[in-house]
Structure 1
């Protein structure tokens, strides 16, 4: 495996910290858009499905938060 660059290390530290479920959903959705833009369609679909599943499992409140940020 390759060494993580500084941007990747920062992202991992942020994800390891206190992050709200709504913010995490938005981040995963954004990741899906980035992946799709780079032509990684299957990976983008997985990210979008993960965001949808997290929203469903989190209840209605997370859906309201993510909808407000989108």
Structure 2
């Protein structure tokens, strides 16, 4: 997966996770809240991976 697709997928997972958490909170569903938090964390990891790939590509391009 390229850096841009990592960042896009990551943002999508972050948004979906936050939404899931909100629905879980509104319906008092702790399992849904927990799964939303996990999905949001996964998204943040994907965004971070995309940023690292960008930095590595920039470093390699400067060589």
- Tell me the TM-score range normalised by the shorter chain: 0.5 to 0.7
Greater RCO (CA < 8 Å, at least 6 residues apart): 2
Runs of 4 or more consecutive aligned structure 1 residues displaced over 4 Å after TM superposition: none
The normalised TM-score by structure 2 is 0.53
Gapped runs of 5+ residues in structure 2? Answer: 25-31, 55-63
Gapped runs of 5+ residues in structure 1? Answer: 1-18, 62-70
Pairwise CA RMSD:
2.1
Higher normalized helix content (fraction of residues)? 2
How many residues in Structure 1 have an aligned counterpart in Structure 2? 43
The normalised TM-score by structure 1 is 0.49
